[in-house]
């Protein structure tokens, strides 16, 4: 279980997160929604160790993560698929995947895991020797996801996995997330496609201005008036 | 005929420019710092080869096997003592701070070298130093040719390491996007340390090769830093063989200018190339990105 307690993060003097409390249970899909600049990415980056919190704590399976550097956090089984994918564009698909298995733990299962990733994303096997920078947006997102899976995570943090992708591609990415969830993976997903992610997620948090202002089951949040007005737009009100 | 002979010499010295530049390119590309003391590190390598030969008669090409690892260790120490504090800063600050530290290191190494080894020019003069291979009317100095081949071999080995080895790939990943590298579980601090030490070892090996064919003195550092910098700009970041090719291009350009414009313009042509490339193709001849 991921336990975030009273987390405080700031950019210089500017507070980015204030007393954030959040839970992701084992095998649970949790969505994190909110407007731009609410601190969603900051929260994920802090959990992954790219930012150092000013206060509070982050625990994963009982172990304190907030005092660890990113490489130890990956070793503990927590992986972030960052916003904008951040692939190694000048390396091949295969090299990107192999780098995903850099940790000692993942090195041992590298071959088997790559096979699993290729079964999950057959397109990546076809593009194995191509440079990551030459892939289409959807393929890049698959590679970013596959690369994170190479590290054998038990908790996957996803920052805007649908960004810039065609609706059909988004659908297939979300289908993969659902499949990972069925296999027991815990997921924390930041997403602009609020309707899609709330349908997928068991629970959701609403983050505004660096604070958690709402929390509930995905289906309940979908029907919440505030969420529908702010994030699902006027059309959703009629159809949902 | 004079031109051909000069071009051959230019080609031979160009390989060393390339080797010197490869080390600078590695630290610049991975750590995003500019180590202006690179030429001084090269000077140290040169003196190591000189003294090993002068005191114990060790063949300079053989002593490279010791100089490389020794300079690698010196690189570890320098990174630990000085540069690790620089890479913690944001990128714009890194360059500025690394310049300050680099210039400081330059002065210290330069002064120490004068103090211990005097300002005299030195060169390693082996028994085979004067040997030449004649091709028609061309004379190819054997030691310079050997140096060129060795420089190429060292860069090939390093290229293989970067392409295939686990830590080599970690270095490339860090160079491309250090945050993404950290998310893969790569300890970015360690890859910085490794890249800096490798860069220092390259400078040392280049220095050893310089001492065999050319003269060394405590003041050669600036000149070699400048050459390396010109080649890095010429070649662009990201490719060791690009550096090698860029080095040879600079060597050939210098040789041409010696024939047509005279010796004094030798140094000018490099700087001219530097400016032209910066204006026309700032990503360098072989660099992928702007």
Distance CA A238, CA A234 (A): 7
* B177 interface with A at CB cutoff 8 Å: yes
Taking residues B118-122, report their average pLDDT.
Answer: 90
Q: Which CATH superfamily is domain A1-77+186-240 in?
A: P-loop containing nucleotide triphosphate hydrolases (3.40.50.300)
**CA–CA min distance B174, chain A (Å):** 9
Disruptive mutation site among A50, A52, A88 for chain B (greatest number of B CBs within 10 Å): A88
Per residue in A32-91, pLDDT tens? 998 888 999 999 999 999 999 999 999 999 999 999 999 999 999 999 999 999 999 999
Nearest to B131 by CA among B143, B119, B115: B143
Distance separating alpha carbons of residues A144 and B184, to the nearest angstrom: 11
The answer to whether B191 and B167 are in contact (CB under 8 A) is yes
Q: Residue A107: its pLDDT value, please?
A: 92
pLDDT tens digits, one per residue of B269-281:
888 888 888 888 8
A residues 135-174 lying closer than 8 A (beta carbon) to B: 147-148, 151
All structural domains of chain B, each given as residue ranges with its CATH number in brackets, are: 2-280 (1.10.3470)
| CA-to-CA separations, A223 to A32, A201, A231, A234, in angstroms, rounded | 16, 14, 12, 13
How close B185 gets to chain A, by Cα (Å)? 4
Residue A235's pLDDT is what?
52
- Its pTM stands at 0.91
Work out the average pLDDT over A219-227: 80
Confidence of residue A227 (pLDDT cuts 50, 70, 90): confident
Across all residues in chain B, what is the average pLDDT? 91
Q: CA triplet A94, A97, A99: central angle to 5 degrees?
A: 110
Q: A71 vs B186: CB contact, 8 Å cut-off?
A: yes
Judge contact between B78 and B204, C-beta under 8 A: no
Which site among B166, B183, B283, B290 would you substitute to test the A interface, given the most A Cβ atoms closer than 10 Å to its Cβ?
B183
Contact yes or no for B97/B84 (Cβ under 8 A): no
Put simply, whether A204 touches B (Cβ < 8 Å) is no
B274 phi/psi in degrees, rounded to 5: -50, -50
Query: Does B183 contact A86 at a Cβ distance shorter than 8 Å?
Result: yes
Mean pLDDT to the nearest integer, B210-236:
92
Chain A CB contacts of B183 under 8 Å are: 48, 50, 70, 74, 79-80, 82, 86, 148
Q: How many inter-chain contacts (A to B, CB under 8 Å) are there?
A: 64
Domain ranges of chain A: 1-77+186-240
Residue A80 in contact with residue A51, Cβ under 8 Å? no
Output the pLDDT for position A234: 54
Name the token pair of B192: 């910085």
B200 closest CA partner among B54, B82, B95, B93: B82
Q: Is the pLDDT of residue A240 over 60?
A: no
> Does any CB of chain A come closer than 8 Å to the CB of residue B183?
yes
Predicted pLDDT at A91: 94
Query: Cα–chain-centroid distance for residue A117?
Result: 17
At residue B82, does pLDDT exceed 80?
yes
Kindly provide the ipTM of the predicted complex, given to two decimals: 0.91
Give residue B194's pLDDT.
97
Put simply, whether B238 touches A (Cβ < 8 Å) is: yes
Closest Cα in chain B to A77 = B185
Average pLDDT over residues A85-113: 94
Q: Is B181 on the interface with A (CB under 8 A)?
A: yes
Residue in chain A closest to B171 (alpha carbons) equals A99
- A80 to chain B: which residues are within 8 Å by CB? 183
Model confidence at B290: pLDDT above 50 = no
Closest partner residue to A102 among B172, B185, B288, by Cβ? B185
């Amino acid at each position: 279980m991921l336990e975030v307690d009273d987390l405080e993060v700031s950019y210089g003097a500017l507070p980015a997160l204030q007393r954030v409390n959040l839970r992701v249970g084992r095998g649970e899909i949790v969505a994190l929604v909110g407007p731009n600049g609410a601190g969603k990415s900051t929260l994920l980056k802090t959990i992954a160790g790219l930012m150092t919190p000013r206060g509070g704590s982050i625990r994963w399976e009982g172990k304190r993560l907030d005092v660890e550097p990113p490489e130890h956090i990956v070793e503990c089984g927590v992986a972030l698929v960052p916003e904008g994918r951040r692939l190694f564009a000048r390396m091949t698909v295969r090299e990107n995947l192999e780098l995903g298995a850099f940790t000692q733990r993942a090195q041992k299962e590298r071959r088997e895991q790559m096979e699993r990733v290729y079964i999950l994303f057959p397109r990546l096997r076809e593009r194995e020797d191509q440079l990551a920078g030459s892939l289409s947006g959807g393929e890049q997102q698959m590679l970013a996801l596959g690369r994170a899976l190479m590290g054998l995570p038990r908790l996957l943090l996803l920052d805007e996995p649908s960004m810039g992708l065609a609706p059909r591609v988004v659908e297939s990415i979300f289908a993969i997330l659902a499949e990972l969830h069925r296999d027991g993976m815990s997921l924390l997903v930041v997403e602009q496609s609020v309707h899609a992610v709330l349908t997928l997620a068991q629970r959701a948090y609403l983050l505004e201005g660096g604070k958690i202002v709402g929390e509930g089951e995905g289906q309940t949040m979908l029907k919440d008036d505030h969420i529908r007005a702010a994030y699902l737009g006027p059309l959703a009100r009629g159809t949902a | 005929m004079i031109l051909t002979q000069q071009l051959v010499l230019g080609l031979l010295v160009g390989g060393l420019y390339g080797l010197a530049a490869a080390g600078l390119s590695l630290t610049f590309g991975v750590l995003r710092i500019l180590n202006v003391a690179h030429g001084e590190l090269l000077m140290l390598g040169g003196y190591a080869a000189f003294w090993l030969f002068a005191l114990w008669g060790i063949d300079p090409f053989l002593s490279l096997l010791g100089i490389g690892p020794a300079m690698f260790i010196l690189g570890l120490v320098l990174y630990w003592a000085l540069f690790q504090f620089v890479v913690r800063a944001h990128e714009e600050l890194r360059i500025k701070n690394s310049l300050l530290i680099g210039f400081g290191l330059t002065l210290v190494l330069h002064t120490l070298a004068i103090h211990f080894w005097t300002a005299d020019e030195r060169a390693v003069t082996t028994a085979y130093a004067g040997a030449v291979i004649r091709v028609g009317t061309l004379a190819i100095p054997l030691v310079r040719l050997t140096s060129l081949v060795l420089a190429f071999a060292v860069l090939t080995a390093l290229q293989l390491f970067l392409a295939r080895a686990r830590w080599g790939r970690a270095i490339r990943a860090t160079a491309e996007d250090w945050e993404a590298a950290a998310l893969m579980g790569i300890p970015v601090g360690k890859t910085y340390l490794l890249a800096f030490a490798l860069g220092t070892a390259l400078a040392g090996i280049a220095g050893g090769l310089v001492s065999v064919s050319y003269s060394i003195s405590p003041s050669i550092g600036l000149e070699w830093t400048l050459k390396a910098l010109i080649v890095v700009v010429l070649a662009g970041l990201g490719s060791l063989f690009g550096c090698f090719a860029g080095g040879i291009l600079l060597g050939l350009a210098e040789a041409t200018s010696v024939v047509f414009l005279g010796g004094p313009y030798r140094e000018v042509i490099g700087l001219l190339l530097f400016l032209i490339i910066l204006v026309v193709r700032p990503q360098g001849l072989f660099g992928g990105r702007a």
